[in-house]
A and B are shown apart, each in its own frame.
Chain A
């Protein structure tokens, strides 16, 4: 895919964050292993329901209030509930609300509940917007992991929770030390964008899986910083579990629910990669991008203005990983802070 080489030296650099692995694995092999562990765990969780038990799902959709669907326990997802309705519900719904809690469209339902499907054009699309922003950042991380050659390691740090009003979604990444002097040119940003567009075209679903911390640690056994992130997330979550998402053959962590499929994005551009300075794992970089969904496309004049804003560095308030963000966001050129934005849950 991407062909770039900053220095072109043939120095063997020890892999960034491998603690137990003494064998140097290629990125593709690591991905394959993670995907295999994910599939294994997914099959195991599905086998917990050997006999099909039925659950009753009440729909809370405008126009279909109170409709009762009889679905399978542990197997049916909100996506399958939507398929019982019309095609429009399948294509337009991005997130589901199960008993008032945000729920990924492809996560199986485990008990009788009330379901409502959220789209981008609701009266209150705050949850959907935030989930979309997170999904675009996850996609960016996936593109960055795929983009570089096998010799260069790419370490994805956590996806910071950014408000939609800040103008761009971010993905913190640490590249191989050989690439410390590399700065992305317009050509490389454009080829990253093309990679993202290819993923969008393939319309891959984001499959969620709720796992116990040991399994998650096994998935990320080759990456020390990911393991730390798993520990942090499991400490924060009320049940002690961690939700993993798989898209294609990439497994990733996220701070909250993601939207249903990559095909929901239509306009997607990687706008900039800013160096943040030396951090714990090396030179931290922030990759930023801008995206709009299929139902909310912008005219090219509007898109150009938003894109020029997305190229500027977005500052992230430290220590905000929950969904209920109430911190202020400081923009680089602003003398005063923007007012706090509290989305409803």
Chain B
């Protein structure tokens, strides 16, 4: 093939290449996904975590259909290499995300790996896992001036709404 500069620039190509080829990529993602379902929080490279996110959420969507569904069981069987996790998926993870429509996973970036490759790392987790939170949402102090004003505003609105309901 022609060794052009255009080969080095992606020009809008969004599909990531991982491993030795497309089949290798799917196998790698399968392994990572199995690890995620087993441990609910894993640490991988950033690119792999980003790829697995899509599949992790799609797997939950399939699991929500229930284990009696033919297609759902086939998907779970394919994607989870350790078969003892299939009941966990249908009985623990699917009910946990019943109320949420999407966004079952959270990805947080962490410092680069200490090895020679200095790979950019990320932590991927299913929400609602039993571990302590990764990043606490930075909330401004409740007692600052602007928050106190907003608190008073919200209370007044609530009281007005209550008064309207009564009337």
Contacts of A165 in B (CB 8 A): 148-149, 151-152, 155
The reply to whether the CB of A167 lies closer than 8 angstroms to some CB of chain B is: yes
Chain B interface: which size bin? 10 to 19
The reply to whether the CB of B103 lies closer than 8 angstroms to some CB of chain A is: no
The reply to whether the CB of B156 lies closer than 8 angstroms to some CB of chain A is: yes
- Report how far A299 CA is from B19 CA in the complex, Å: 48
Contacts of A167 in B (CB 8 A): 149, 152-153, 156
Closest Cβ neighbor of A291 among chain B residues: B145
Interface residues of B in 98-122 (CB under 8 A from A): none
- Report how far A256 CA is from B28 CA in the complex, Å: 68
- Report how far A132 CA is from B152 CA in the complex, Å: 17
Interface residues of A in 252-292 (CB under 8 A from B): 290, 292
Interface residues of A in 206-259 (CB under 8 A from B): none
Of the candidate stretches B44-52, B80-88, B127-135, B158-166, the one touching chain A is B158-166
The reply to whether the CB of A93 lies closer than 8 angstroms to some CB of chain B is: no
The reply to whether the CB of B6 lies closer than 8 angstroms to some CB of chain A is: no
Contacts of B156 in A (CB 8 A): 167, 309, 331, 333-334
| In contact, A309 and B159 (Cβ under 8 angstroms) | no
A-B contact pairs, 28 of them (CB 8 A): A121-B144, A122-B141, A124-B143, A125-B141, A125-B145, A129-B143, A129-B144, A129-B148, A132-B145, A164-B145, A164-B152, A165-B149, A165-B151, A167-B153, A293-B145, A296-B146, A298-B146, A302-B146, A305-B153, A309-B152, A309-B156, A331-B156, A333-B159, A335-B159, A335-B162, A335-B166, A338-B152, A338-B155
Shortest Cβ gap from B147 to chain A (Å): 9
Interface centre among B144, B145, B155 (most CB of A within 10 A): B145
Contacts of A293 in B (CB 8 A): 145
Closest Cβ neighbor of B152 among chain A residues: A165
Shortest Cβ gap from A202 to chain B (Å): 23
Main SS of the interface on chain B?
A: helix
The reply to whether the CB of A120 lies closer than 8 angstroms to some CB of chain B is: yes
Query: Per a CB cutoff under 8 Å, which of A125, A166, A331 touches B159?
Result: A331
- Report how far A335 CA is from B141 CA in the complex, Å: 29
Shortest Cβ gap from A34 to chain B (Å): 31
Shortest Cβ gap from A251 to chain B (Å): 27
Shortest Cβ gap from A296 to chain B (Å): 5
- Report how far A128 CA is from B148 CA in the complex, Å: 12
Interface residues of B in 28-76 (CB under 8 A from A): none
Contacts of B144 in A (CB 8 A): 120-121, 125, 129, 296
Closest Cβ neighbor of A343 among chain B residues: B143
Contacts of A334 in B (CB 8 A): 156, 159, 163
Interface residues of A in 112-142 (CB under 8 A from B): 120-126, 128-129, 132
Closest Cβ neighbor of B145 among chain A residues: A129
Q: 6 closest pairs, A vs B, by CB?
A: A165-B152, A334-B159, A164-B148, A296-B146, A129-B145, A167-B152
Contacts of B141 in A (CB 8 A): 121-123, 125
- Report how far A128 CA is from B144 CA in the complex, Å: 9
Interface centre among B156, B160, B163 (most CB of A within 10 A): B156
Given contacts A164-B148, A292-B145, whether A306 and B153 have CB atoms under 8 Å apart is yes
Shortest Cβ gap from A301 to chain B (Å): 12
The reply to whether the CB of B150 lies closer than 8 angstroms to some CB of chain A is: yes
